[in-house]
Structure 1
Amino acid sequence: MGVVGGLLLIAAIVLFFVQRHYRLKLRSLKLATPATTADLHHLQQQVAEEIGGGNLREYVKVSGQIVVDQPLISELRQVPCVHYRMCVSREYEEQVRETDSEGRTRWRTERRSDTISSNSQTIPFRVRDRYGEIEVDARGADIETIQVLDEFRPANTAGRLTFGSFQVNLGTLAFGSGNTIGYRYQEWILPVDRQVLVVGTASDQTGTLRIERPTAKGQKFFVSLKSEDSLSQDTSNAVLYSTIGAAACGGLGILLILVGLL
């Protein structure tokens, strides 16, 4: 019981940090000033006239369509986007030895996976609303994506993996034990032409008005494919469920530890 109680306490700690993350995100969503691209260009002019160009710093939320002249091409699916994340993993079977409470030993086959390659890329893009456009430097942002690939390919004797622009010579990889079953290819993207909500700092420090990563503590930077109302509801639910989960796991974990000590 003590072991199970300890695991539940660990789960409670993890859920505590999860709810803290979502609570800060919800706070940031409410704290950010709603703005159109026209509002931000007008504000930039006002600040420049009053204290000089390059001094605008405003935490905002802007909705619009992703626009980019030369999109990024994702590594695996080869689809146009402004951000992608990919992962190639080896799936294999391994014999695992188990010993029961009576000391009897048995072997069972367990399926496992190891990541052999992962990569992500992000390029600047523009958000266009009915009034105009504003540049977004999404580096460092929490970017919501859609999964465009989850494909398993059985192992073969070719000695080389290729998928899209991804290539790797298996002879250069150091695999551990286990019988290789095959390889799984996964990819997530932020596609072009989609409606997004961007929450970040509007700044003209570089001479160009853009939304970028905030420097102020407690201000989250994220790009969402959801509307503000939908994101607010989903985030509120995540805060509620993770809080309940943390309390339940923590309480039950402490109880089991105490019972185990008696």
Structure 2
Amino acid sequence: MAIFGGILIVIGIILFFVQKNYSTKLQSIRSATSSTIAELQRIASEIAGEIGSGNLREYVKVRGMIHSDRPLISELKRSPCVYYSMKVFREYEEQYTVRDSDGKSRTEIRRGSETVSSNMQSIPFRLVDSSGELIVNPDGGKIETVQILDEFRSENTNGTSISFGGFTLVLDTGMGGRRTIGYRYTESILPCDREVLVIGTAADEGGKLTLRKPIQSDKKFIISLKSEEELAKSTANAAQSFFYGMIGCLSLGLILVILGLILKR
């Protein structure tokens, strides 16, 4: 009982940090100043006139369309985008031995999977609204994506490599007694020509107006396909759910630990 209570307390502590992260994200959404690109260009020009260019630092939220003259091409589906992440999983079967209460052993088969390859790439892109455009550097951002691929393919286990789109992998011959069933390919992208909400620091370093990751740890860098209202609502709901989960785990865990110690006497 006390051990189970201790496990619940550990889970509660983990949920505390998850809830804190969502609360910080919600605060970031609410505290960022809503701006148009033209307004940021005007502020940058005024600051440059007073103390010189390169001194703009404003935490803002801007909505606009993604444009790129030379977009990335995703590795698996070969789709144009400004960010993609892909993973390839090997799904397998393996035999294992179990013993029952009488000490008799039997062989069973279980399925599992392991990641054999993963990759992620991004490029700066133009964010365009009705008043102008600026550059977004997505490095370090929390990027909402669209999943464009989740496909399982049975593969010839006698083959020496697998391929999908622009991806090729030479297979390891040592599978540790596991029988390969096939491979699952997944890919998500931030596509071109989509409207996004970007929350981050506006800066004019190098003479170019750019949105990038804030230096301050309590300010999040977010690139979302949701509207501001949808993003704030989903974040608030997540923060509330994790808060109640944290309280429940910590309370029940503490009760079980105390009861376990009492009953142990």
**Shorter-chain-normalised TM-score: which range?**
over 0.9
Which residue matches 2:123? Answer: 123
Aligned length, in residue pairs: 261
DSSP-derived class of the 1:69 partner:
coil
Deviation at 1:200, TM superposition (A): 0.5
CA distance in 1, matches of 2:250, 2:12: 5
Which residue matches 1:166? Answer: 167
User: 57-66 vs 92-101, which deviates more?
Assistant: 92-101
Scaled by the length of structure 2, what TM-score is found? 0.92
Give per-residue Cα distances to partners, 1:36-58, cap 9 Å, x unaligned. Answer: 01001111100000110111111
Which residue matches 1:93? Answer: 93
Identical-pair percentage: 49
What does 1:236-247 align with in structure 2 at a 5 Å threshold? 236-247=236-247
DSSP-derived class of the 1:12 partner:
helix
Which residue matches 1:76? Answer: 76
Letter in 1 for 2:171: L
Deviation at 1:5, TM superposition (A): 2.8
Q: Please provide the CA RMSD for this pair.
A: 1.8
User: 232-241 vs 94-103, which deviates more?
Assistant: 94-103
Which residue matches 2:227? Answer: 227
Change (3 A) 1:179 1:7: farther
Deviation at 1:143, TM superposition (A): 0.4
CA distance in 1, matches of 2:241, 2:100: 36
Which residue matches 1:154? Answer: 154
CA distance in 1, matches of 2:102, 2:240: 43
Scaled by the length of structure 1, what TM-score is found? 0.93
Letter in 2 for 1:162: S
CA distance in 2, matches of 1:178, 1:259: 45
CA distance in 2, matches of 1:248, 1:204: 47
CA distance in 2, matches of 1:101, 1:46: 80
Change (3 A) 1:12 1:110: farther
Point out where structure 2 has 5 or more consecutive residues left out of the alignment: none
Which residue matches 2:181? Answer: 181
Which residue matches 1:203? Answer: 203
Letter in 2 for 1:166: F
DSSP-derived class of the 2:207 partner:
coil
User: 107-116 vs 224-233, which deviates more?
Assistant: 107-116
Deviation at 1:147, TM superposition (A): 0.8
CA distance in 1, matches of 2:97, 2:260: 27
DSSP-derived class of the 2:220 partner:
coil
DSSP-derived class of the 1:206 partner:
helix
CA distance in 2, matches of 1:228, 1:126: 20
Deviation at 1:95, TM superposition (A): 2.7
